[in-house]
Amino acid sequence: MATQPISGQPLAVPGHPAKGMVPGAGVVPRYRRSRRSEFAVWWREIDRVLLTLVLALMAIGTLAVAAGSPASARRLSTAAKQLPDLYFFKSHLLWQFFGLIVMFGASMLSKDAARRAGIVLGSAMLVGLMLVPVIGHEVNGARRWLNLGISLQPSEFLKPAFAIGLAWILTWRVRDPNLPVIAITGGIMALVAALLMMQPDFGSTLLFAAVWFVLVLLSGLPVKRIGAVFGVGIGGISLAYMFYDNARHRIDNFIGGGTAFDQVDLASRTLTAGGWTGAGLWLGTRKLSLPEAHTDYIFSVIGEEFGLLVCALIVVLYIAIIARVLSRLIDEEDLFTVLAAAGLTAQLGGQAFINILVNLQLFPSKGMTLPLISYGGSSTIALCLGVGFLLAITRRNPFLSRTRFTLTPAAPGTSR
């Protein structure tokens, strides 16, 4: 039986244009339709509120690096080489551009693809972390970078992969409750901590440990073991204080003050110098004597030039990101999604609030940047990759209804 054309349109035979039709007219290439449909699905499933909050932080970061760039450029200039005032600002724009590409690319991955990418990345960066003490190059007394044509810091890329990898391992218990998943993840955490302390990088060690603790707590860590975990943590900090000079000096300076590491006091005074509304862009003066004005202490530069109100806005944005992710996980059924998203959020929020507390002189100096705001090369790419993974993992079809988890037993004859 012959197929009749619809609405009187002539039939097109594959490979031959229909009578009365211009070859190629009205024909949409299949790859274009596919690309358009993929983007439509991505836009429908992505958390647009979370994406907006992240882009707002990055926009603030662009202005903040512009404000801090002159101070760092002048401080790092030498008689042989004078850096332009906007040297770090222009470089930051380039890194942000690449970071956005990575973030949007990662956010278009499916949940399974994001999990596999995180596992592969984590394995590669763990190997890179092992190579750092051997072939890494040293900057400011710390050996944390690999020179692979560009300067690469494996620990920065390990952060998002660490959260995803641990979440994946902890979900093994769903298939076999007898698997010692907490012990396995604890062993991985110990290996990462040992490699980081060899660099040395005490601040990142604390951040990785905090992410690990959040994940094992959410996965069902027995209450009786929580005290043991805290005991191990206190013991680790005590050992670092006794055998790790940098940690001891920073803790001593935080508790009793000192002169060897007094940049925290300088940062605190710079932060409050602008009052509530700030001195204005490029009108701050205290920032000129502030070390690492474009990275570790950029929050203080924001306080001086844009005011404490803008600093408060930044804190609100970080809290909003955390609250948005947690609210999206309330009715989530998949354990991996809950653990991975919580781990990535803990890593982002933990790093942000450690940096802010250091600038407020409420925490020992850690040499940790303010995520999505501070200047950075590989760190900016790594943070954007982590956000991209977070957006990919929290994607959901808005047309699918979800059953909330409840402890109330189902009525006989019904199912959940």
What span, in angstroms and rounded, lies between the C-alpha atoms of 118 and 161?
5
Residue 33 lies in a domain: no
Give me the domain span that covers residue 198: 51-75+83-128+159-393
Buried/exposed code over 376-408 (b: 16+ C-beta within 10 A; e: otherwise): bbbbbbbbbbbbbbbbbbbbbeeeeeeeeeeee
Task: Determine contact, residues 311/303, Cβ cutoff 8 Å.
Answer: yes
- pLDDT at residue 416 is higher than 60: no
Cis-peptide into 200, omega within 30 deg: yes
Q: Is 185 exposed, middle or buried (0-12, 13-18, 19+ CB in 10 A)?
A: buried
Q: What's the pLDDT at 51?
A: 95
Q: 222-261 burial by CB neighbour count: b if 16+ within 10 A, else e?
A: eeeeeeebeeeeeebbeebbeebebbebbbebbeeeeeeb
**Is position 60 within any domain?**
yes
Quote the tokens at residue 294.
Answer: 């474009």
Taking the C-alpha atoms of residue 13 and residue 16, their distance in angstroms, rounded to an integer, is 5
Question: What tens digit of pLDDT does each residue of 39-59 get?
Answer: 888 888 899 999 999 999 999
DSSP classification of residue 16? B
Residues in Cβ contact with 31 at an 8 Å cutoff, skipping those fewer than 6 apart: none
**Residue 103 counted as domain residue:** yes
Residue 213 falls inside a structural domain: yes
Contact 394, 50 (CB under 8 A): yes
Q: Is 257's pLDDT higher than 70?
A: no
Q: Kindly indicate the confidence band of residue 170, based on its pLDDT and cuts at 50, 70 and 90.
A: very high
Task: Say what percent of the chain tops pLDDT 70.
Answer: 75
**Whats the size of the chain, residue-wise?**
416
Asked if residue 153 is part of any domain, the answer here is no
Tell me how many domains the chain contains: 1
Does 247 have pLDDT greater than 80? no
Q: Give 363-400 as a DSSP string.
A: S-------TTTS--SHHHHHHHHHHHHHHHHT---TTS
Helix (H), strand (E) at residue 67:
helix 48-76
Kindly state whether residue 145 falls inside one of the protein's structural domains. no
Give the residue with greater pLDDT, 37 vs 104.
Answer: 104
Residues 57-97: tens digit of each pLDDT: 999 999 999 999 988 888 888 778 888 889 999 999 999 99
Question: Could you tell me which residues come within 8 angstroms of residue 185 by beta carbon, excluding any fewer than 6 positions away?
Answer: 166, 169, 170, 212, 215, 216
Instruction: Select the more confidently predicted residue: 320 or 256.
Output: 320
Q: Which has the closest alpha carbon to 372: 18, 52, 34, 62?
A: 62
pLDDT digits (tens, 9 = 90+) for 6-41: 444 444 444 455 544 545 455 545 545 566 787 888
Assess contact for 374 and 285: CB atoms under 8 A. Answer: no
Q: pLDDT (tens digit, 9 = 90+) per residue, 357-391?
A: 888 887 777 778 899 999 988 889 999 999 999 99
Using alpha carbons, select from 116, 51, 10, 69 the residue that is nearest to residue 340: 116
Domain presence at residue 142: no
Sheet containing 137-139: which strands, arranged edge to edge? Answer: 137-139, 142-147, 151-152
Q: Is residue 305 part of a domain?
A: yes
